[in-house]
Structure 1
Amino acid sequence: MENLYSVNGVELCAETYGDPLDPAVLLIHGATASMVWWDSRLCSELAGRGRFVIRYDQRDTGRSTSYPPGAPTYAMSDLAADAVDLLDALGIERAHVVAQSMSGGTALVLGVDHSARVASLTFVSTSTGDEGLPPPSADMTRLGTPDFNDPAAVEEYVVRSIEAEAAGHFDEATARALVQRDMARARDYEAALTNHYAMRFDGPRGGFGDLKMPVLVLHGDADPLLPLPHGEAIRDAVPGARLVVMRGMGHGLSEPYWESFVDELVKHTEER
């Protein structure tokens, strides 16, 4: 069941799966994506493997606090502080943090500046952001911007974005149902699609090399948005990090890869 929590001066919507006595796994999806992009079946599967799973809407997504489109007043460090305060609200001392895409930056802040709260980190389809890494494919740059006064056009834009990222693992009906649910839940869907890119991108007090907890990197070798060298760069930057290449996977964690994802995550999050 979804619940609203007052944390760090904002309101966040979160949902949990499993036994609170099991090791906690905090799922943070990427830019613009609410918690429903972590499919409930995937969360249930992970909970069934002995993990207490938390998914939540970051600021400007889903039912959480929203800001005027193009005018967010927060920084990436605030998103990390939100995650820490959410753990406090749930009575969780330490969590295994899993971050998708741009939220890898939030996970880095958590791992460096709030290391006592992070049992392990998993970076999914994300990047160090270093110069010289390969750019997105041409298909990813052709999508343009939707007319936010036309809900049907916005829906179509996001569905086509999912298709472009999927590298062939695309189901039209599933994608459209996800987008429709996401739009229906959002306080302001234009803000959801724009504000994460407009926030202030401050960094932690260190970098990837300062991470001391176990780090897993999961990356598709068919990722058109952040090609595989982005994941390899994280592996190379973090002492002892382990890279698992998901063969044929695009940018999103599509359903054919859920079993491998859960297997790797369960192995990575065994209590140490």
Structure 2
Amino acid sequence: MKYQIISAKPGEKLDVLPLLKYPQDFHGSTQVDHLVKFGDSFTGLIGKSKADLPKDGVIILEHDVNEAKKLMDKINDLAQQIIADSTKYDDQGFCREYFELARVGYRMLDKYPPVGIPISLERAGLVTTRLALNLDKDAVIDNEVAVVTKRTHLIGEPETNLSVTVQWRDREKLKTIDGQEILLSDFVNPASGSSGLALVVAAKELGVKPIQINHRSISCTRQGVIFVRKALQEWGISSTFYSVGECDELNEMYYLTGGRAVADAGHVLRHFLPKWYIM
């Protein structure tokens, strides 16, 4: 797949603030290590997909488990309420219900044990990694590799173009994933897949490449799974996808839509970050 990566000079950071189309929506530091510009690489994912999911290494529980389907229906109901009334993002009681559904969903996936060094894409990935591993929300995970990724839009580019910033928390820890299987847990994984692919692209710049990425999620998109698997194969990386449910439709902002919406899961789950977390 096509992309352009801009990296900070050694010992420095890259200031992306002047490049951001919507700086008010960029949560966290604008001083980053890499900017991965994907351009229009993901535009083909917009809309409804009628493609067939790969069978090898792809498990979607709601296809065969009625309780999983019911859970995804409940999440969609909550998401539709949030879409209709964005103040619910700040209603911790409402968001707690969403969080607890995610917990139940991850326990449904326990039939397929999680494998790999846990990679958490901040912010929400810190929450979902702990849910996926059935740990306390404030647990410290010794081998966890935390990476700050932010999907964003740049000045002068169409809304459908995507870029992702990458900031390393610990470069030495990052080296531990080289040649290893990694566990990438997120509420939706993948939607477009841009954040996970940006992680891989940026790690490659440092000479680090996992051998396999095991995705573990509450939801994913059909087109995202197909796209991400193909991109990873091009880079010599294997992949698996374990998800409670799936969505076959993405809107022009790359959010899940139709009967399997999740709203902005990361914004909901920010209420349940580990107490030790510092943005």
| Higher share in strand | 2
RCO higher in structure (CA 8 A, sep ≥6) = 2
TM-score normalised by length of structure 1: 0.31
**TM-score normalised per structure 2:** 0.31
